[in-house]
Amino acid sequence: MNALVQAMATRSDTLVTELEAIYKDFHQHPELSMQEFRTAKVAGDYIEALGYEVTREVGVTGLVGVLRNGEGPTVMLRADMDALPMAENTGLPYASTVKARDEDGVEVDVAHSCGHDMHVTWLMGVARVLAEHRDAWKGTVMLVFQPGEEVGRGASSMVNAWHAERFPKPDIILGQHVMVGPSGTVSYRPGVILSAGDSLKIRLFGRGSHGSQPQTSIDPVIMAASTTLRLQTIVSREISPMDNAVLTIGSLQAGTKENIIPDEATIKLNMRTFDEDVREYMLASIRRICCAECDASNAERPPEFTTLSTYPLTENDIAATSQVADVFKAQFGDKACEARPASASEDFSVFGRAWNVPYVFWFIGGTDPEAYAEAKAAKQLNRIPSNHSPKFAPVIHPTLQTGLQAMLTAASAWLCQAPESRDGT
């Protein structure tokens, strides 16, 4: 058994009981992106009591904890903290009933329907094991509790506010995410594991009029409808079948009443790509089509484009992933396997890209194993509530234990090296 995981096992029952209570508390108290004040305080107070040097409000609500334990590599471990503006529909006794105001001042339901509450809990558990078993490892651990992943701003906000004189530069950055998959399993992948993501808001300008006099209008509803249909041809007719890409229109808004032709319409779209050239081509095509449809409608103004969020590719370092894969296989056996690329996106890679540091990101299964097996046998895996579903709820056990073991195991590939391995001899 891995040395750090073995250290965890010495107090597994009490630790897991403690962390389960923490997880349920976070689940019942979700906070919107860049508003994670309570979450950051709970996590910060917890790791500070363990002896970590804690710096708060790094990038609004970001939290950094550093623990130095002799000579050795610096390993950064990251967890995201924010929840989603949506209602939970899991029926769990600890389900969220929280409401909050978003950045526009609109009251919304809030729920941890992506699993970030589990991520924070995992990292707090890892913090305790590392602090209480310093004889099992050498080096420096830097824990990063990141805000705003769901809006693609959290990692950048922390990087921009980084205290380079106080925080050591990491040698490796590690992160993980709970996903649909049998609980107890771990999956990794060298190279691209998550897509790039871009979200845009597009305003189309027409000329309003009475519904009975369409000839006096430039109808933005027709403009938006034509644009929506045409945008779907980018993937189906302009992108090679060998290149994976997704373009989704998630919102189309126009008008207030059936007999009023409005002045404008708004489209909100999201795209995912796995190749930078494909990404740039699609962004250009979106602009081309929107402008062309406005011209075809004789619009008096060109469309207005606003970037809502952007996420880079998550592209795991090949050599570092090989190290992680080796220790995962030794720890988890056939419950560790290679993953397929996912069309989800993350801002985790912003840290590694900004500092030119290798990083590895992997998945932890959070689905009840029996339910997953039944769905797989029935060829109905798509019916399992996934991340961002109002019914998404990882089973606590063994998801909690597996995430703890996985992060400790991955960190051990650097922190538990023999002295001769550290100096390359």
From the options 3.40.630.10, 3.30.450.40, 4.10.80.40, 3.30.450.20, give the CATH code of 3-194+313-422: 3.40.630.10
Identify the weakest region by mean pLDDT among 3-7, 121-125, 137-141, 213-217.
3-7
Beta bridge pairs of residue 199: 270, 309
d(CA 396, CA 38): 22
Write out pLDDT tens, residues 202-240: 999 999 999 999 999 999 999 999 999 999 999 999 999
Alpha helices, DSSP H only, in 66-146?
A: 116-132
Q: Which percentage of the chain shows pLDDT scores above 90?
A: 94
Residues 6 or more apart whose CB falls under 8 angstroms from that of 425 comprise none
Would you give the distance in Å from CA 103 to the centre of its chain? 20
Write out pLDDT tens, residues 89-118: 999 999 999 999 999 999 999 999 999 999
d(CA 183, CA 186): 9
**Token digits for 351?**
């840290």
DSSP 333-382: GGGEEEPPPBS---STHHHHHHHT--EEEEEEEEE-HHHHHHHHHTT-GG
From the options 3.30.565.10, 3.30.479.30, 3.30.1120.10, 3.30.70.360, give the CATH code of 196-311: 3.30.70.360
Spatial CA neighbour of 179 closest among 190, 165, 189: 189
**Token digits for 178?**
């709970």
d(CA 131, CA 108): 38
- Extract the runs of DSSP E, i.e. beta strands, from 183-244: 186-188, 191-194, 196-205, 209-210
How far lies 122's CA from each of 76, 146, 177, 352, in Å?
Answer: 14, 14, 10, 21
Q: Given the structure tokens 């993980």, which residue do they identify?
A: 176
d(CA 285, CA 233): 10
d(CA 292, CA 189): 40
Interstrand relation of 209-210 and 260-261 (parallel, antiparallel or unpaired): antiparallel
Q: Given the structure tokens 């909050």, which residue do they identify?
A: 100
Would you give the distance in Å from CA 182 to the centre of its chain? 19
d(CA 150, CA 301): 32
Q: Given the structure tokens 């209602």, which residue do they identify?
A: 87
d(CA 207, CA 401): 59
Q: Which pTM was predicted?
A: 0.93
Residue 68: in which H helix or E strand, if any? strand 63-69
Tell me what pLDDT residue 1 has: 66
Write out pLDDT tens, residues 313-343: 999 999 999 999 999 999 999 999 999 999 9
Residue 421 — very low, low, confident or very high, per pLDDT cuts 50/70/90?
Answer: low
Mean pLDDT of 163-182: 96
Integer Rg of the chain from CA:
24
Residue 277 CB-density burial (10 A; 0-12 exposed, 13-18 middle, 19+ buried):
exposed
Domain ranges across the chain: 3-194+313-422, 196-311
Tell me what pLDDT residue 123 has: 98
